[in-house]
Structure 1
């Protein structure tokens, strides 16, 4: 197993950050590295719910994704299990801090060799994902949907 961890302080309350996660239209806008887009097929945002989508790379490559929501605590935690390859669990934690939110992103990959070979890409992709989340939170609901 391999662990990836990153965090970012966002200038918004946990409820505002969570709103950008639970709304599939907003989530599709920011999920993934820079230049990637998403088409959601199934989005059952509840414990045990299924999330199926295709991530479209900037070069036109499609990446099918299938996940299950393991845990959802509003404005606090979202945990998913990626059920197609590569297998991993991802936890997003939202901690209130003086009117802002500390977003902690922890991924645990089953295949150590895959994860270590992809570590540089994955770490960069995670930072880009948080950049996109921060921009989406900044848009707010008034500009969303």
Structure 2
């Protein structure tokens, strides 16, 4: 019981700096998790609607990095860098996401994967260094809508794979 109370205090300490987006996906947890482990998967679904991704380097392991550019529908390129800080297959991924390896404004995202029968609930909890950076991400970059669209793209991608595998 003491652990639960302590976690509640920790969560409330970051509440004004975080966003949470979740979705239930009609695919097995192992498949949803796997969609994060290979660049061939990520390049098919990563990002909000209309965005595409070009990968420069990719190494999925704790301490490994994904160096990539997201291309917006309006032609704007966004340099991105993710460092994987914790990987616990098929339950959890923690990552640090910024514009570059040493970005002082990088934010931490925790992705939790939970089985719900034959489906998977994914919860993406992102904590920004400051409330101002969180507010900027939400207001200027539409982080919540973008996160919802990204999880929707993931859902469409893995649901299609799961259906093909069932048909074999």
Could you state the TM-score of these two structures normalised by the residue count of structure 2?
0.79
Q: Which residue pairs with 2:48 in the alignment?
A: 33
Q: Which residue pairs with 1:96 in the alignment?
A: 115
Counterparts of 1:77 and 1:31, CA distance in 2: 18
Q: Does residue 111 in structure 1 map to residue 104 in structure 2?
A: no
Counterparts of 1:117 and 1:42, CA distance in 2: 28
Counterparts of 1:43 and 1:104, CA distance in 2: 23
Give ranges in structure 2 of 5+ residues lacking alignment. 1-13
Match of 2:161, SS? Answer: helix
Could you state the TM-score of these two structures normalised by the residue count of structure 1?
0.91
The runs of 4+ residues in structure 1 deviating greater than 2 Å are 83-86
Give ranges in structure 1 of 5+ residues lacking alignment. none
Q: Does residue 71 in structure 1 map to residue 86 in structure 2?
A: yes
Equivalences for residues 47-86 of structure 1 within 5 A: 47-84=62-99, 85=103, 86=105
Bigger Cα Rg: 2
Question: Number of aligned pairs?
Answer: 143
Match of 1:60, SS? Answer: coil
Q: Which residue pairs with 1:18 in the alignment?
A: 33
Quote the offset at 1:16 in angstroms: 1.1
Q: Which shifted more, 83-92 or 127-136?
A: 83-92
Quote the offset at 1:97 in angstroms: 1.4
Match of 1:119, SS? Answer: helix
Match of 2:68, SS? Answer: strand
Counterparts of 1:13 and 1:127, CA distance in 2: 19
Higher strand share: 1
Quote the offset at 1:41 in angstroms: 0.9
Higher helix share: 2
Counterparts of 2:43 and 2:94, CA distance in 1: 17
- Give deviations 1:86-128, integer Å, cap 9, x for gaps: 4101111101111211101111111321321332511100110
2:25/2:159 contact within 8 Å kept: no
